Structure 1
Amino acid sequence: MELHDVWFVLIAVLWTGYFFLEGFDFGVGILTKLLARDRTERRVLINTIGPVWDGNEVWLLTAGGATFAAFPDWYATLFSGFYLPLLIILVCLIVRGVAFEYRSKRAEERWQTNWEHAIFWTSLLPALLWGVAFGNIVHGVKIDEHKEYVGTFWDLLNVYSILGGLVTLTLFTFHGTVFTSLKTVGDIRERSRKLAVVLGLVTAVLALAFLIWTQVDNGNLKSLVAMLIAAVSLVAAIVLIKVGREGWSFALSGVTIAAAVAMLFLTLFPNVMPSSLNDAWNLTVSNSSSSPYTLRIMTWCAAIATPIVLLYQGWTYWVFRKRIGTQHIADAAH
């Protein structure tokens, strides 16, 4: 395996980590409107991800940086062609971070309600748009012989990519609902478990349609195995959350995300961004990668830094591992 193949796999791992971690906190943000009944319950939900949401976004920064360094042509075509949806995601992530930090700065109900609206919408939109973006990457977009995207914004809104967006939206919300049931106590935990079952069934229908479509279009034996793992894991997660095994359900919803991402990258390889105009114009791991010397330096840096990042992020989750409930929220703590 050559270094550009290794970095294709590493970028797939980074996106898997991002969707696994940011997926549940997008889901929790969406639940502030779907599940929470009052300001206290919304505070409980926000507190479940309060210590970790910003650390989860490190995976996105690393995935973007790794793509820029390892596959500059892929990065250039992707970020120029998908400029508007990626800009919307970026603005959402900025506003979302501000909302988490500023919500509690003033006690007025209107102030906090406005920031809670911001948390909901800036969680929902990225959860939807990431699926649209990856749907287009896998399905192929209008790339010419100069490695430039020549389509329009509206070309990105096709049936396949929109279905992909609905899958990520429902899957992340399900993932967040399972996480909420794992991190809370009392009535909110029980309602979260019930909602997770409903969301899981909706997710299963949408995901099955999307993954089968992907497999039929571009699949191979390895992607078929990944698809089956994703399907079995999702069904098992739904069953386990129904019987109250939140920990196992959360682990399996994470396996579902990992297997689904693996399937997309397996159907993509050796391409990184197929052209819908001409297969000869596909961006591949070989024609869009950096020099071997650059990739060697990156590999050494990653080998040193990655264990450190995993250790401190794992320590954060360990420190804030306990459950919380409305009884832990003081009346003046909003």
Structure 2
Amino acid sequence: MELHDVWFVLIAVLWTGYFFLEGFDFGVGVLTRLLARNRPERRVLINTIGPVWDGNEVWLLSAGGATFAAFPEWYATLFSGFYLPLLLILVCLIVRGVGFEYRAKRPEEKWQRNWEWAIFWCSLIPAFLWGVAFGNIVHGVKIDRNFEYVGGLGDLFNPYALLGGAVTLTLFTLHGAVFTALKTVGDIRTRARTLALRLGPVTVVLALGFLVWTQLHSGDVASLVALVVAAVALLGALGAIWRVREGWAFALSGATIAAVVAMLFLSLFPNVMPSTLDADWSLTVTNASSSPYTLKIMTWCAVIAAPLVMLYQAWTYWVFRKRIGTQHIAEAAH
């Protein structure tokens, strides 16, 4: 296996980690309006992800940085062609982070309500747009002989990409509901399980439709295996949440996300960004990669740094592992 193939796999792993971790806190952000009935319950939901949301975003920085260093041509075409959607995601991530930090800085109800709405929308929009972006990456976009995107903004919102956005939004929301059931106590835990069971059938239909479409368009045997794993894991997650086994349900919903990302990258390889104008103009792991020397240095850096970062993040989750409820929310004193 060549180093550019290794880095294609590593980038897939980074995106898997990001969607697994950021997926549930996007979902929790959406649930602040779909599940919580009052301000204390919204505070409970926000507190479940309060210690970890910023660490989860490190995976996005790592995936973007790895793409820039390992596949600069891919990075350039992707970020220039998808500029507006990616800019909107970035703005949402910034506003969302500010919302978490500033929401409780003042006692006025209007102040807190506005930041809570900001958290909701800035969780929902990226959850949808990431599916749109990856739908276009896998399905292909208009790339010319100079490896430049020549389509318009409207071309990115095609039926396949919109379905991909609906899948990521529902899947992340389901993942967040399962996480909420795992991390809370009392009535909010029960309602989170109920919401997960109600959302589950919709997620199954959308996900299977999207994955089957992907398989028919560009799949192979390996991607078919990933499709089956994703379907089994998703059904298993619903079964586990029905049996009140939140730990298993969370692991299986996370496995569903991992299998979906794996299928997308398996169906994409050896391309990194197919061209719909001419297959010869597609970006591949070969023509989009950095030099072997650059990839070699990156590999050594990753071998040293990645385990340390993962150990530290795992320790963070262990420290903040206890369940919380409205009884743990003290009245704010100003």
TM bucket (normalised to shorter chain) is over 0.9
Q: What is residue 278 of structure 1 aligned with on the other side? A: 278
Please say if 1:24 is aligned against 2:34: no
TM-score between both structures, scaled by the size of structure 1: 0.99
- The CA deviation string for residues 10-36 of structure 1, in whole angstroms up to 9 with x for no partner, is 000000000000000000000000000
Matched residues in 2 for 1:97 and 1:331: separation?
Answer: 22
Q: What is residue 174 of structure 1 aligned with on the other side? A: 174
Q: What is residue 97 of structure 2 aligned with on the other side? A: 97
Matched residues in 1 for 2:161 and 2:126: separation?
Answer: 14
Matched residues in 2 for 1:253 and 1:167: separation?
Answer: 13
Matches within 5 A, 1:294-305: 294-305=294-305
Structure 1 pair 102–239 and aligned structure 2 pair: CA distance change class (3 A): same
Compute the displacement of 1:278 (Å): 0.3
Matches within 5 A, 1:87-236: 87-236=87-236
Name the SS for the 1:332 alignment partner. Answer: coil
- The CA deviation string for residues 49-75 of structure 1, in whole angstroms up to 9 with x for no partner, is 000000000000000000000000000
Compute the displacement of 1:333 (Å): 6.0
Please say if 1:66 is aligned against 2:66: yes
Compute the displacement of 1:332 (Å): 2.4
Unmatched runs of 5 consecutive residues or more in structure 2: none
Q: What is residue 237 of structure 2 aligned with on the other side? A: 237
**% identity of equivalent residues:** 78
Compute the displacement of 1:215 (Å): 0.2
What letter matches 1:78 in structure 2?
L
Name the SS for the 1:323 alignment partner. Answer: coil
Compute the displacement of 1:108 (Å): 0.9
- The CA deviation string for residues 157-183 of structure 1, in whole angstroms up to 9 with x for no partner, is 000000000000000000000000000
Unmatched runs of 5 consecutive residues or more in structure 1: none
The runs of at least 4 aligned residues of structure 1 exceeding 3 Å deviation read none
Structure 1 pair 14–333 and aligned structure 2 pair: CA distance change class (3 A): farther
Q: What is residue 313 of structure 2 aligned with on the other side? A: 313
What letter matches 1:289 in structure 2?
S
Alignment RMSD:
0.7
Structure 1 pair 292–333 and aligned structure 2 pair: CA distance change class (3 A): farther
What letter matches 1:265 in structure 2?
F
Matched residues in 1 for 2:219 and 2:332: separation?
Answer: 55
Matched residues in 2 for 1:51 and 1:245: separation?
Answer: 24
- The CA deviation string for residues 135-161 of structure 1, in whole angstroms up to 9 with x for no partner, is 000000000000000000000000000
What letter matches 2:210 in structure 1?
F
What letter matches 1:152 in structure 2?
G
Name the SS for the 2:332 alignment partner. Answer: helix
What letter matches 1:250 in structure 2?
F
Compute the displacement of 1:331 (Å): 2.2
Matched residues in 2 for 1:333 and 1:134: separation?
Answer: 44
Matched residues in 2 for 1:211 and 1:284: separation?
Answer: 22
